[in-house]
Chains A and B, each alone.
Chain A
C-alpha cells in the first residue's frame, strides 16, 4: 500500500475509476459502466478530486457534495476544469447519485466509482468503516502535480475536504 499523497507529489499513473456516463435523461437509452482512466484524463486539466465514504450517506449528501455543485462556477473561475467525486459504491449508484444531484451530460462534476483500482485504499485514506473510502480532497494541476491533498481526521467531518477549503487553496 502506497503512502498518502501530499502537495508536491505527482498524481500517479494507472489510476482508473468506473462510471456510467449520464446519457440523456430521456428514456431512449440506458448507460453502461465505462472505465475512466483518471491518470490519462486528468492530464492537461485542473481537477478537484473528492472522495467520500458513501453515496447518499447523510454527511456526504447534506454537507459535502452540494457545496461543490452550488459553487462550481466559483471553482471554474479559479481555473478548475473538472470535479470528480468518488466513493466505494458501484458505478450505478454513483450515477444515480449524480442524477439526483442534478448532473447532466455536460456536467463538469462527475460521479464515479473507485472500485476499479481502489485508489483511496492505495493511498491509505480509508474511512475506517469497512471498505468505505475516506473523506478527502485533492487539487491536481494540469501537469499532474498535486497542490493540495488533505483528508479529514474523522470521516464524519467536512473541513479540509470541503468546497470552501478547496476554494481557498485555488
Chain B
C-alpha cells in the first residue's frame, strides 16, 4: 500500500506540497517523542480516509530532520498539527493548531478538511 503521507524534510519540499495541494494537514513530530508515536497510526488512517489527490494532502514532518520548517512554524511541543489552505495556515473547527496527541480534535479536523476537499473536487 502506497504511503498516504508526504514526508518533506525541508521548506522547499513543503512548498512543493503546498503548491500541489489546496489543503494540507501537517503532523509535526519527533522520532523520540512518545505521544507522537501513539497518534501516528491514527494520522495515517485519517490520511487514507480523507486524503484527496491534489486537494488534501497529509504530511508528517520530523522536527529534527526538517529543522528549518520546525523553526519557521515555531514548533514548541510535539505532536503539533497544523492546517493549511493554499500554503497559508488556517483554523479548522476554530483551532489554528492542535497541540498534543488529541485524537478527538485531530479526527474532527481531518473530517472537516476531508469534507471541504470533496466539495472542492466536485467543483461545488
Contacts and interface: CB of A to CB of B under 8 A. Distances in A.
Interface of A: 21, 23-24, 26-32, 34
Interface of B: 30, 32-36, 63, 70, 74-80, 99-102
Nearest to B80: A29
Given A28-B35, A29-B33, 18 more contacts: A21-B77, A23-B76, A23-B77, A24-B100, A28-B100, A29-B35, A29-B78, A29-B79, A30-B33, A30-B35, A30-B36, A30-B78, A31-B76, A31-B77, A32-B63, A32-B70, A32-B75, A32-B77
Nearest to A23: B77
What is the interface of chain A mostly: helix, strand, loop, or mixed? loop
A30 B30 contact: yes
Contacts of B101: 28-29
B52 to A, nearest CB: 28
A32 B63 CA distance: 9
Nearest to A28: B100
Contacts of A30: 30, 32-36, 77-78
